[in-house]
Structures are given as C-alpha cells and as structure tokens.
Amino acid sequence: MKRQLSILAALALVLAACAQTSGDSTTTAPGDNTTTTTTTPQVEAVLLSYSLSAGDEYQYEVALDQHIDLTASGDPTLMAGEEVPGEASIDLAGSATITHVVSDGPEPGTYEVHITGEFGDVKVSGTADGEPFESEEAPDFASLDPIDVTVVVDEQGNLVQEDNPGAEDPLAGIFGDLGPLAGGPAAPGLDPGQFIGPPFSDEEVAVGDTWTDEIESPSLGDPIVTNISSTVTGIEDLDGTEVYVIASDSTTSPIEFDLAELFAGMFGALAPEGATPEETAELETMLEQLQFLISIDSTTADSRTWFDVEAGISRQSETTSSTDISMDMNIPDEETGEMVGFVMDMSLDQDITYRLISGPAA
C-alpha cells in the first residue's frame, strides 16, 4: 500500500509543479504583452510594484489541500518500480513555513529570492483499489519533498530567471521522484515554492481596473502559453493594514511530451554491430510500436492576492487550480524484451494559501 501511494504524492507535486502556474505566472517579456482596461471613475490609482531589499527575510505560513482521482491499467512496474493502484481517490492536506530570503538581482530593478521550506503534519485519506486508508497506513505518501528554489523577479513581479535543481534533468520529471514535469519557468504557479503575487500592470491602476498578460515559456515540447487576467476588486483592512485585493484568472495551454523519439534513439543505439536481418527487423518492429506520451490538459486557476502597496509585498494569497494528466507507455520489458504497456489518467484539484507571518513588513 505504501509503495502504491508514493507515486501519487509525487505526481501531485508535479501538478503542484505544473498547474498552479496560472494564478501567479510571470511574463518573460515585461510590458510587451500586457494590456490594461480602465474603468471609470479612477479613484486612488497607484502603480503596483514589489519593493524588496537585499537581506530581507520573509516567512509565509502555507496550507495545501489536494484531491486526486486516478485510474491506471497495464504493467505498473514501468513506473520505476512503483506499484500503482488501478483506481484511487485521495485527499491530501499539509502545512509548511516557507522562507523567502532576498538578494540583489543581476540587473537593476530585479530581486533574487531564495525560497526554502518543508511540509509537515501531512494528512492523507482515501481509497486505493476500493480499500480505504489513512495517513498512519501510508507514511511514505504523507511526506512532501523539501522546497529549495531560487527565482529572479523584477519590480512588477515578472519572472526573469529560475534556478530549480529538479528541472535540470527532464527525465527526472518522469521517473523517480517525478519532479517538475514541465521543467523550467512555467512551473512556479503550482509549486508551493513560488514567488507570491501576480505580475502587475506597468500603468497605474485603481479599484475596478483590469490588466492582462500572455506568457510564453519553453518546455520539452511546444512552448507553454499562459494567459492571465487580473483585476483590483477592492481595498480592505487586513489585520490593521490597508491592502489592495487582486483577483487573477488564468489558463495555461495543454502540454504534451512525446518521448518516443528520444527512447527510439536510445534503443537504436543499442543495436549490436553485425546484426542479422532478422534482428534488424525485430528492432525496427519494436521501434514502430514504441510509445511514451505524457499529456497535461489545459490548466485553470483562480487566485486572490492581498497586496500591501506601501510595503510592496503580498501579505496573503489564495489559489484554486484544476488540471488533468495522462500517460500512455508501450516499451520493451528489460528482461524479456516483449512490449509492455501502461496507461494512466489522473485529475488534480488543489487549493493553496499563503499568509505572511514574519518579515520587515509583518
């Protein structure tokens, strides 16, 4: 049971590393793809911007809730030895204190933010192959990977650069711990280790004003495109501090990784020298049947951010996201050489909240 569940936690982090991209995504070309719609009348229009300083350290209390539905068929041993259940419905809840340490960025007007934290008190419940389970029965699943990522952002919240060790090896997103599947800067929105807050307009905004961003990020396949629409919905008092409330809706384009060609090259390179016509024909047949396709449907996310204009920092954030992921594999068995397949479909609904608990602005 424990081994059955461990892959699900990792996949949840993938999507908690591929789908919340939305609400807090940042633009790769500040200003170029941003439009602003202004309502009337404008009242107390301000230029929203982040104001950080080298040496600043902020801590956020983070709560994560996920619901996962999964179906799978075929040979689950293809998943790096994991025993994946045929059906599972899982609820996961965890909390963490995540620290943001600020340094000067590589260019004027940019900040380097080192984000670290570790989830504790993770509770898991649900069913696997019709059998109920609780956290005590699945301690391996009730453990999320520590967060350690460095991002560079500008004053408008645009992501300039990301250093995520898990994204260096694209196959690490498929085997083993199933790290960030998309690999690269499109992932921060769903990852709990993210810069908190949406990208802002380059123009002054007041209550009722809306601005949009289109963000294009590289991936293993086609570029990932995220469209974000943000609106100042009001000004509130949050624990004695005046904050602007910003609602953001985003949609990230479908993502598809077809790794069959990569594996075909790997298997083709293993062909022995002087292979007989029969051996060559057998290899060609295997390569024709080879399949390794991973798909992530269009991801949607809705978020609200409580932004302290005077301090230039997000004090609170809530994001709800939803996405589906599927995997279709057909590869040769290591021992017999016969083709074996595995098909999996998973849906993920996730809520994540952040609350500033310490720092210069707390």
Band (pLDDT 50/70/90 cuts) for residue 140 is very low
Q: What is the mean pLDDT of residues 16-30?
A: 39
* Predicted pLDDT of residue 4: 37
> Quick one: which of 241, 149, 246, 235 has its CA closest to 198?
246
Residue 125 burial (CB count, 10 A): 16
* Predicted pLDDT of residue 135: 67
Q: What is the mean pLDDT of residues 323-337?
A: 80
Q: Does residue 31 register a pLDDT over 80?
A: no
* Predicted pLDDT of residue 80: 54
> Quick one: which of 175, 144, 79, 154 has its CA closest to 312?
154
* Predicted pLDDT of residue 152: 94
- How many Å apart are CA 63 and CA 96, to the nearest integer? 7
Q: What is the mean pLDDT of residues 18-28?
A: 38
Mean of the per-residue pLDDT values of the chain = 77
Place of tokens 């298997």: 267
* Predicted pLDDT of residue 240: 94
Environment class of 16 (CB within 10 Å of its CB; exposed 0-12, middle 13-18, buried 19+): buried
> Quick one: which of 361, 359, 302, 289 has its CA closest to 97?
359
When comparing pLDDT for 136 and 351, which is higher?
Answer: 351
Least confidently predicted of 145-154, 256-265, 289-298, 316-325: 256-265
Q: List, in sequence order, every residue forming a beta bridge with 344; answer none if it has no partner.
A: 72, 327
* Predicted pLDDT of residue 267: 66
Place of tokens 């998943």: 79
